[in-house]
Amino acid sequence: MSPIEQCDVLIIGAGPAGAVAAALLRQQGRQVLVLEREQFPRFSIGESLLPQSMEFLEQAGMLQTVVEAGFQFKNGAAFVQGNRYTDFDFRDKHCAGWGTTYQVQRADFDQLLAQQAERQGAVVRYRHTVTAVDLSAQRQRTTVRHPEGHDYAVESRFLLDASGFGRVLPRLLQLETPSGFPVRGAIFTHIADGIPSGSFDRNKIRITVHPQHRDVWYWLIPFANGRCSIGVVAESSFLAVTPGTETERLRELVGEDPALRDLLQHASWDTPARQIQGYAANVKSLWGDGYALLGNAGEFLDPIFSSGMTIAMKSAQLAAAVLERQFAGIATDWEADYAVPLKQGVDTFRTFVDSWYAGGFQDVIFHEQQEPQIRRMISSILAGYAWDRSNPYVSESKRRLATLEQLCA
């Protein structure tokens, strides 16, 4: 019988959370094994980065590769409803730090990050699926399904679950709790958009609010190659009403907004659309003895503010910092040093997500007389700086936003 493999940290999943965590732990000299179920490149939804994530990529030694990859430059977000339009330039914001970033095809982006983690010495194994964990001993024992069908075991000093919607540990350890959000879904695809150059700002994600239903919205995320990601988000019951294939339903729903229909009148719908639903998720705890949950394996709120990858990378940064102290023999408190600070930013986003769907935040951003200083504070949050407590819309987000909603109603 072959000896059980050993490593310092085993990471489940090579998405942004797993790759960034792997690189940061390698910088500390840890032995890192990343097990990824899929063969990369693989499709993933969620293509719009926020500028805050550039800081995490920089720390992980991945920024230069990302900059040189030629992804679509992004400097903000545009919001449209009927004939109302507003846009935020993230370079004009309350806090210091990156004001620009990229809109990325995730197949390429995730592969780049995983390759960068490998260059820094992490071992990444593709098509290796984690199927079970035993946390009863001092070293965690993880069971892995090899691509050829047999199982093997790995022992680690610590386990990071970065399995995204796979939610490996939440399922295996019964950590899942329902999300407070209604069950929403998205239908999406990539298209050759055919938008004439100059008629549209490709440097921004464009969010369109449905002309009749304020809680239904579309994203349009342009890429650098004349293609874009297009999707619609609504409660699952709303999406279920439109008949047909996913592509037919998406085209039908896009057609309900005249401006979006016009913008995409020359588009080539060359890739079958897909639907995902019930993605909002939560857990009882983001950590336990010998493990922590990163990114979507912990909590996922909602796609409206493109916060998913930023939260995933932030979780990797926080967890790597706690592990550095833990491995150095310094007492650590995962609740105080990991869960609480991570949730602070997540809760800021949650306040804005709740307000978006209730309509209040839509009134705020479309309001015609905006105070420049407040606008810069909102711009900071839309740029992902949801942990910056110098911003009153972070430190007192609920109260401040409620007041602003009343003023703008």
Which residues contact ligand FAD (rule: CB under 6 A)? 12-18, 35-38, 44-48, 129-130, 162-166, 168, 186, 231, 276, 279, 295-297, 300, 303, 306, 308-310, 312
CB of 258 to ligand FAD, least distance (A): 24
**How near is the Cβ of 79 to ligand FAD at its closest, in Å?**
14
277 φ, ψ (degrees, to nearest 5): -145, 160
3-class SS of residue 285: coil
- Whole-angstrom distance, CA of residue 308 vs CA of residue 220: 17
Of residues 90 and 404, the one with the C-beta less far from ligand FAD: 90
User: With the C-alpha atoms ordered 161, 32, 22, 115, is the resulting torsion angle positive or negative?
Assistant: negative
Length of the chain: 409
Q: Which is nearer to ligand FAD, 48 or 189 (CB)?
A: 48
Distance in Å, CB of 307 to ligand FAD, minimum: 6
Helices first, then strands: H and E counts in the chain: 16, 19
Minimum Å gap between C-beta 78 and ligand FAD is: 14
CB of 219 to ligand FAD, least distance (A): 7
Alpha helices in 179-270 (DSSP H): 236-241, 246-255, 258-263
- Tell me the closest approach of the beta carbon of residue 110 to ligand FAD, in angstroms: 6
Among 100, 38, 27, 111, CA closest to 69:
111
Nearer to ligand FAD by Cβ, of 36 and 118: the residue is 36
Closer to ligand FAD at the Cβ: 164 or 345?
164
- CA neighbor of 191 nearest in space, from 278, 102, 254: 254
Nearer to ligand FAD by C-beta: 349 or 393? 349
Comparing CB distances to ligand FAD, the nearer of 166 and 360 is 166
Q: How far is the CB of 131 from ligand FAD (least distance, A)?
A: 7
Q: How many CB atoms lie within 10 A of CB 237?
A: 11
| Nearer of residues 76 and 308 to ligand FAD, judged by Cβ | 308
Q: Taking the complex as a whole, how short is the minimal distance between the CB of residue 365 and ligand FAD, in angstroms?
A: 17
Q: Reduced to 3 DSSP states, what percent helix, strand and coil does the chain have, rounded to the nearest 5?
A: 35, 25, 35
Helices (H), 264-307: 295-298
DSSP bridge partners of 140: 156
Separation of alpha carbons 49 and 409, rounded Å: 30
CA-to-CA dists, residue 5 to 36, 128, 157, 213, 254, angstroms: 17, 14, 12, 54, 51
Residue 8 · residue 157 · CB < 8 Å: yes
Tokens of 374: 């407040």
Residue 217 burial (C-beta neighbours within 10 Å; 0-12, 13-18, 19+): buried
Of the two residues 313 and 394, which places its CB atom closer to ligand FAD in the complex? 313
What residue type is assigned to position 217 of the chain? W
What are residue 134's DSSP bridge partners? Answer: 141
| CA–CA distances in Å: residue 363 to residues 215, 348, 385 | 13, 18, 22
Q: In the complex, what is the shortest distance from the CB of residue 294 to ligand FAD, in angstroms, rounded to a whole number?
A: 6
Q: Which is nearer to ligand FAD, 230 or 401 (CB)?
A: 230
Residues 265 and 401: their CA atoms lie apart, in Å, by 37
- Minimum CB separation from ligand FAD for residue 399, in Å? 27
- Closer CB to ligand FAD, 308 or 360, in the complex: 308
Q: What is the DSSP code (8-state) at residue 5?
A: E
